[in-house]
């Protein structure tokens, strides 16, 4: 079976607000799947539930034939799910290499030197090996985003949840990040990708499928071409008046 992740009927409430309402998603191996939706549509909640930061109120999540809903985040990470964050989360007092090593040390029980060697390869993948001894606080936004990618790669995951990695980057930087994501897919890593930079989602990468959420519900699912012409999606993003105005 090619399916790697199955989110089935997941719901999550925060007080009176339904952040996710009976959402089901399936991801196949070695694919890049986009996750779109206006602000507050539930994208980040879904990522937080998959990675174990939040527990779903209802529904199940199966990753690689293992039920993961309710597991602690570190257990889910060990099973092969890595993630990056919309607001960059790195350990400022650690070097670039140390930030990348954290996951390698946890997942493979390597000794310090082997983990360093392994993590250096992950840094090579994103082109940051020359800055491995820098402190992350001294790097720019683009480089910090690459470290998050390298940290995710160093865990040798089967699935990476990528959260708005293109935001704030120049077009050239976005193209470089897109190349890295393509390479990862070629290595056999599935990517589930939240993105607001529409150009990146539709032009820079060959995305296999896009899922659109709105108000906590799944609004649409299909190829980029289908999503681009989906009236409900356009309406959700631009509002009804713009639809009427052509």
Partner 1 sequence: MEISTFFYIIFSSLQIGLIYALVSIGFNLLYSSTKIINVAYGEFIAIGAYVAYWLFVLYAIPPPVSIFVAVAVLILISLPLYQILLKRLLESKSVEYIEIWGVIITFGLSIMLQGFMAFVWSAQSKGYSYLDQVVEIFSLTFILNKILTIIISAIMVLVLYYLLFRTDLGISMRSVIQDPELAETIGLEMNKIFLLSFLLSSIIAGIAGVLLSMSFEIHPFMGSTYLILAFIVTAVGGIGNPIGSFIGGLLLGALNVLIGYTIGPGLNLFIIYALLVALLIIRPKGLMGGG
H-helix segments, 54-210: 73-79, 96-108, 112-126, 141-154, 171-186, 198-199
Give the burial string for 116-155 (b: 16+ CB within 10 Å, else e). Answer: bebbbebbebbebbebbeebbeebeebbbbbbbbbbbbbb
Q: Is the dihedral of CA 33, 204, 119, 48 positive or negative?
A: negative
- Least distance from partner 1 to the Cβ atom of residue 6, Å: 21
**Tokens describing residue 69:** 């809903």
Stretch that binds partner 1, among 7-15, 58-66, 110-118, 195-203 (CB under 8 A): 110-118
Asked if residue 199 binds partner 1 (CB under 8 A), the reply is no
SS3 23: strand
Comparison of 102 and 197: residue with beta carbon closer to partner 1: 102
Is 94 one of the binding residues for partner 1 (CB under 8 A)?
Answer: yes
Q: Which of residues 43-82 bind partner 1 (CB under 8 A)?
A: 51-53, 72-74, 77-78, 82
The site for partner 1, by CB under 8 A, has a size of: 28
Is 98 an interacting residue with respect to partner 1 (CB under 8 A)?
Answer: yes
* CB-nearer residue toward partner 1: 43 or 151: 151
Whether 221 and 46 have beta carbons less than 8 Å apart is answered as no
In whole angstroms, the minimum distance from the beta carbon of 243 to partner 1 comes to: 39
Residue 156 makes contact with partner 1 by CB under 8 A? no
Residue 131 C-beta: closest distance to partner 1, Å: 18
126 near partner 1 (CB under 8 A): no
17 interacts with partner 1 by CB under 8 A: no
Residue 58: CA count within 13 A, CB half-sphere: 11
Distance CA 190, CA 207 (A): 11
Name which of 89 and 130 has its Cβ closer to partner 1: 89
Minimum CB–partner distance for residue 121 and partner 1 (Å):
17
111 is a contact residue toward partner 1 (CB under 8 A): yes
Residue 47 structure tokens: 């990522």
- CA distances (Å), origin 164, targets 134, 181, 195: 24, 13, 5
Q: Residues in the site for partner 1, rule: CB under 8 A?
A: 51-53, 72-74, 77-78, 82-83, 85, 89, 91-94, 98, 101-103, 105-107, 111-112, 115, 151, 155
């Amino acid at each position: 079976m090619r399916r790697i992740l199955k989110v089935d009927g997941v719901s999550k409430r925060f007080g009176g607000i339904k952040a996710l309402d009976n959402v089901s998603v399936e991801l196949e191996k070695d694919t890049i799947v986009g996750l779109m939706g206006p602000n507050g549509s539930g994208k980040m909640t879904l990522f937080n539930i998959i990675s174990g930061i939040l527990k779903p109120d209802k529904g199940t999540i199966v990753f690689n034939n293992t039920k993961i809903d309710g597991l602690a985040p570190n257990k889910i990470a060990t099973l092969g799910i890595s993630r990056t964050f919309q607001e960059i989360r790195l350990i400022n007092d650690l070097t670039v290499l140390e930030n990348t090593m954290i996951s390698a040390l946890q997942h493979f029980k390597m000794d310090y030197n082997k983990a360093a060697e392994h993590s250096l390869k992950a840094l090579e993948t994103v082109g940051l090996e020359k800055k491995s001894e820098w402190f992350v606080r001294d790097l720019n936004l683009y480089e910090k985003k690459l470290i998050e990618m390298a940290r995710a790669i160093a865990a040798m995951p089967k699935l990476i949840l990528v959260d708005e990695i293109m935001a704030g980057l120049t077009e050239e930087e976005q193209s470089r990040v897109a190349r890295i994501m393509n390479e990862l897919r070629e290595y056999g890593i599935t990517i589930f990708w939240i993105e607001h930079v529409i150009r990146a989602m539709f032009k820079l990468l060959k995305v296999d499928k896009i899922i659109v959420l709105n108000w906590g519900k799944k609004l649409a699912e299909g190829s980029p071409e289908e999503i681009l012409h989906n009236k409900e999606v356009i309406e959700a993003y631009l509002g009804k008046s713009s639809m009427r105005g052509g």
